[in-house]
A = this chain, B = another copy of it.
Amino acid sequence: MDKSIFENMTIPELEEEAIKLLSEKKYKDLRECLTFLNPADIADLMGGKMPEESAPLVFRILPKTIAADTFAYLDNDVQETLIRAFSDAELKQVIDELYIDDAVDLIEEMPANVVKRIIRNAAPSVRAQINELLNYPKDSAGSVMTTEFVDLKKDMTVEDAFVRIKKTGIDKETIYTCYVTDKNRILLGIVTAKKLLLSDLDAVIGDIMETNVISVTTKEDKEVVANLFHRYDFLALPVVDEEGRLVGIVTVDDALDVIHEETEEDFARMAAITTAEDSYFKTSAFKHAKNRIFWLILLMCTSTITGSILTSFEAAIAALPLMVAYIPMLMNTGGNCGSQSSVTVIRGLALNEIEIKDIFRVIRKEFLIALMVGFALSVFDFFWIWLISGEILVGAIVSLTLFVVVIIAKIIGCCMPILAKALRLDPALVSSPIITTICDMCAVSLYFAIINLTMGQFM
């Protein structure tokens, strides 16, 4: 088959062609075809449209240069299938070719017996680095960094730097930021590849390096690290230990992964779902159900408390059944107000716009907002009820309740995430569904308290 055929194909066409060539067992053409695809796309094919049992075969015909990259993009189950099919020699080759941080990710996801085989087959230097990275706490900068970076010395010239990059750069995750360290590995400064390319060959690194470098420690929260990338437009960020020694770097693609992961976790928590690790269709219905049921049962139980409160007003309900009609509106509006505040504060906390010490400023602001929103809603509601039912007293009771409910909901909504953070919990945990349930109880209690106060004589 002529190579030029593939050149003019789009990605979906290439994917279809690859599947066809695989089923026709035209492996030489398949290999050619796959080289025109990106590793991320090949990984997608192997984990999706191609039959699962063909994965080892397809992987083996991949050119070496893209095999390791493709492996890093594969889903965990396909990776496991491959590792089980690999000979020790094949396994060693793949592990040594992987970027260290990808190897660590792999090890964290594999079952114990597979991990043992990986560790046993890795080259000693790779094994040492993997072990070092595995020791950093989950969610720390240390756990997402890579130990493969270009380090330069102060007294090198730009020409020396180019030689060093040419010699060691091929295995580094990025060569676009180079790190200048002293003999104790203390980070002195950085030089970007742009700076190197725009400087004279005999310029000295010590003179052109940037010295006011922003770095993080290995223990820093990975979400904080990811936010720094957005704030400063970095391509990579150095990670130092407590003595200021450079131990690794985080690259922008890993920061993107962290942002992606944390965002999806927050979205899931806001909808009271335990986070799924796979994509929607890859996660089984049973797993989806399992991820959703815990919060549903918890919230169902707590909302029976609202029910019990209602039960205690049985007499009022029997005497004034019409008043029940406004309960859904009061509950919903309270819940919506509360979740507006909580989501706003949760995002503010996630992006470091709001800190724990700001709690009183936040309460003051939310109180002001609640006064305005509550006033507008109550007035609207009063005239609406008056217009629809002609009952001024009912309108007054409902809108008074509404006003107070809005204020309580906004205060609860803004305080809970900050308190959660102060208790070192994820603020997103106390998200809309929980806030809604709490606001419901307040709304119902308050409503009947006000009814009792004003219409007590009817019961």
Q: Interface on A for B, CB 8 Å cutoff? A: 7, 11, 35-38, 40, 162, 165-166, 169-170, 175-176, 193-194, 197-198, 211-212, 214, 229-233, 235, 252-253, 256-257, 259-260, 263-264, 266-268, 270-273, 279-281, 285-286, 288-289, 292-293, 295-297, 299-301, 303-304, 306-308, 310-311, 314-315, 317-318, 321-322, 324-329, 331-333, 335-337, 339-340, 342-345, 347-348, 351, 353-354, 358, 361-362, 365, 368-369, 372-373, 376-377, 380-381, 384, 388, 432-433, 436-437, 440, 444
Given A257-B230, A340-B292, A343-B267, A193 contacting B198 (CB threshold 8 A): no
Q: Contacts of A35 on B, CB cut-off 8 Å?
A: 212
Cβ contact within 8 Å between B214 and A285: no
Q: Of B36, B197, B263, B267, which is within 8 A of A175 by CB?
A: B197
Q: Of B169, B252, B376, which is within 8 A of A194 by CB?
A: B169
Residue pairs across A and B with Cβ atoms less than 8 A apart, 22 shown, are A165-B198, A230-B257, A233-B253, A264-B347, A270-B270, A279-B348, A288-B365, A293-B372, A293-B373, A293-B377, A297-B380, A300-B329, A303-B332, A307-B326, A307-B327, A307-B329, A315-B321, A318-B318, A324-B324, A327-B327, A328-B440, A339-B433
Q: Contacts of A211 on B, CB cut-off 8 Å?
A: 7
Cβ contact within 8 Å between A311 and B306: no
Cβ contact within 8 Å between A40 and B232: yes
How far, in whole Å, are A364 and B259 apart by their CA atoms in the complex? 31
Q: Contacts of A354 on B, CB cut-off 8 Å?
A: 280-281
In the complex, residue of chain B having the shortest beta-carbon distance to the beta carbon of A259: B259
In the complex, residue of chain B having the shortest beta-carbon distance to the beta carbon of A351: B279
Cβ contact within 8 Å between B332 and A292: no
Cβ contact within 8 Å between A214 and B11: yes
Given A256-B229, A369-B289, A373-B289, A321 contacting B325 (CB threshold 8 A): no
Least Cβ–Cβ distance between A114 and chain B, in angstroms = 25
Cβ contact within 8 Å between B344 and A329: no
Q: Contacts of A335 on B, CB cut-off 8 Å?
A: 436
Least Cβ–Cβ distance between A12 and chain B, in angstroms = 12
Cβ contact within 8 Å between B230 and A377: no
Cβ contact within 8 Å between A230 and B260: yes
Interface centre among A7, A307, A310, A314 (most CB of B within 10 A): A307
How far, in whole Å, are A186 and B231 apart by their CA atoms in the complex? 34
Least Cβ–Cβ distance between A183 and chain B, in angstroms = 20
